[in-house]
Amino acid sequence: MRLHDLKPRPGSRHRRKRLGQGESSGHGKTSGRGGKGQTARSGSSIRIGFEGGQMPLIRRMPKRGFNNIAFGTRYIPVNLDALNKFEDGAAVDESALRSLGLARGTGKYIKILGTGELTRKLTVKVHAFSASARTKIEKLGGVCQLVSPPVEAAPKAKKAPKAEKPQAEKAVKVEKAPKAGKTPKTDKSAEKPAAKPDKAE
């Protein structure tokens, strides 16, 4: 056995795939790459789930689970310059804003934003103010009053009825039989004579 006699095990090595040798090479005209396009180019790789730019299936499917956005506080914004529709010295609250169409939507809370300039002295009662809106209202002598949202009482949980505990059966005392050759013990208190009645003096 010499060094040039060593050979790899059969099947452990395979000849390389020669590309671009025509249809008679056994690999077809395009050497297994299909037609022209992105996947026919060298170095091309497409990530899993990519659908050519359209909305992929994983994002089209509805999602389930907890989302905190349902518990957020949403405000209906009202710009400061819209309050110029009220008369000087008027009291502005939620009902007044909704009646004039300044607060639209199904939201429960209203917030005054500082966009625009206010030219009237008003008493504004809403749920929130921005810092700039509060400064402009109070600069003209107006009043900003916060309306606290109503606190909904949580329903009281009904207490489950207590399960009745089974009454423990009273243990019955079993008298032991006396052993042979021993007399049973008697109650000494029963043997004592009754107390004599006191003699009348």
pLDDT band at 201; cut points 50, 70, 90? very low
d(C-alpha 82, C-alpha 102), whole Å: 7
% of the chain at pLDDT higher than 70 = 75
pLDDT value at 151 more than 70: no
The residue ranking higher by pLDDT, 12 or 159, is 12
pLDDT of residue 185: 61
Q: Which has the closest alpha carbon to 126: 76, 201, 175? A: 76
- The overall average pLDDT reported for the chain is 84
3-state class (DSSP) for residue 191: helix
Give, as one character, the DSSP assignment of residue 3. Answer: G
pLDDT band at 52; cut points 50, 70, 90? very high
H-helix segments, 63-159 = 94-99, 131-139
3-state class (DSSP) for residue 81: helix
- CB contact set of 116 (below 8 Å; sequence gap of 6+): 79, 80, 81, 82
Q: Are 94 and 103 in contact, with CB atoms under 8 Å apart?
A: yes
Give the position of tokens 């730019």: 53
Domain regions of the chain by residue span: 72-146
pLDDT band at 187; cut points 50, 70, 90? low
Q: What is the mean pLDDT of residues 25-43?
A: 91
d(C-alpha 96, C-alpha 99), whole Å: 5
Neighbour order of strands in the sheet with 109-113: 75-79, 109-113, 128-129
The class of domain 72-146 in CATH terms is: alpha beta
pLDDT band at 58; cut points 50, 70, 90? very high
Encode pLDDT of 87-142 as tens digits: 999 999 999 999 999 999 888 899 999 999 999 999 999 999 999 999 999 999 99
Q: Are 111 and 147 in contact, with CB atoms under 8 Å apart?
A: no
The residue ranking higher by pLDDT, 189 or 82, is 82
Query: Can you name the residues that pair with 75 across neighbouring β-strands?
Result: 109
